[in-house]
Structure 1
Amino acid sequence: MSTHQIVALGDGGASSGGPARLGRIRALARGRGVLIAAATVVALVVVAAMCAPLIAPYDPNAVDPTAVFQGSSAVHWLGTDEAGRDILSRLLYGARPSLLAPAVVAVTAGLAGTVLAVSAAWIGGWYDRLVSGLLGVVFGFPGLVLAVVGAAVFGAGLHIAVVTLSVAFLPYIARVVRSAALRERQLPYISALHLLGMSGWRICLRHLAPNLLPLVLVQVTTSFGYALLDVAAFSFIGLGAQPPTAEWGLMVAGGASGILAGRPEQSLYAGLVIVVFVIACNLLGGLSPRLLGHQR
Structure 2
Amino acid sequence: MTSEAPDEIHRSWRTAALGFCRRQPLGTFGLAIVIVTAIAGLSAEWIAPYNPTANDFEAMTEAPSWAHWLGTDQFGRDLLSRIIYGARTALIIGFISAFVGGFAGLVLGVGSAYFGGKIDLILQRVMDILMAFPLIIMALAVVAIFGTGVQNVIAAITVPLIPRCARVVRASALSIREVPYIDAARTSGFSHSRIILRHMMPNVVAPFLIMLTAFVGQAILAEASLSYLGLGVQEPTPAWGLMLQGGAEEYASTAPWIAIFPGLAIALTVFGFSLFGDALRDAIDPKLRER
TM-score range, shorter chain: 0.7 to 0.9
Shift, 1:289, TM fit: 2.4
Deviation per CA, 1:109-137: give whole Å up to 9, x if none: 11110111111111111000010010001
- Does the 8 Å contact 2:60/2:76 carry over to 1? yes
Deviation per CA, 1:129-165: give whole Å up to 9, x if none: 0100100011111222222223333322232221122
CA distance in 1, matches of 2:88, 2:121: 39
Q: Which amino acid aligns with 1:272?
A: L
Q: Which amino acid aligns with 1:155?
A: G
Structure 1, unmatched stretches of 5+, are: 1-27
Deviation per CA, 1:256-288: give whole Å up to 9, x if none: 256344211121111111111111111211221
Of residues 105, 108, 113, the one that matches 1:121 is: 113
Q: Are 1:36 and 2:18 counterparts?
A: no
Stretch of structure 1 that moved more, 228-237 or 65-74: 65-74
**Corresponding residue of 1:191:** 183
**Corresponding residue of 1:268:** 260
Q: Which amino acid aligns with 2:208?
A: V
Shift, 1:169, TM fit: 1.1
- Does the 8 Å contact 1:81/1:258 carry over to 2? no
Residues 95-114 of structure 1: matches in 2 within 5 Å? 95-114=87-106
- Does the 8 Å contact 1:114/1:173 carry over to 2? yes
Of residues 70, 78, 82, the one that matches 1:90 is: 82
* Alignment CA distance shift 1:78-1:258 (3 Å): farther
* Alignment CA distance shift 1:43-1:188 (3 Å): same
Residues 79-228 of structure 1: matches in 2 within 5 Å? 79-228=71-220
Q: Post-superposition, which runs of at least 4 consecutive aligned residues in structure 1 deviate over 4 A?
A: 28-31
CA distance in 2, matches of 1:260, 1:128: 51
Deviation per CA, 1:157-210: give whole Å up to 9, x if none: 232221122111111110000010001111222223334443332121112101
Q: Which amino acid aligns with 1:115?
A: V
Of residues 227, 239, 250, the one that matches 1:247 is: 239
**Corresponding residue of 2:226:** 234
CA distance in 2, matches of 1:29, 1:81: 39
- Does the 8 Å contact 1:147/1:160 carry over to 2? no
CA distance in 1, matches of 2:250, 2:149: 25
Instruction: Give 3-state SS (helix, strand or coil) of 2:68's partner.
Output: coil
CA distance in 1, matches of 2:280, 2:105: 21
**Length, aligned pairs only:** 269
Structure 2, unmatched stretches of 5+, are: 1-19
Of residues 66, 70, 86, the one that matches 1:74 is: 66
Q: Which amino acid aligns with 2:177?
A: R
Greater C-alpha radius of gyration? 1
Q: Structure 1-normalised TM-score? A: 0.86
Stretch of structure 1 that moved more, 46-55 or 89-98: 89-98
Identity %: 36
Q: Structure 2-normalised TM-score? A: 0.87
Q: CA RMSD in A?
A: 1.8
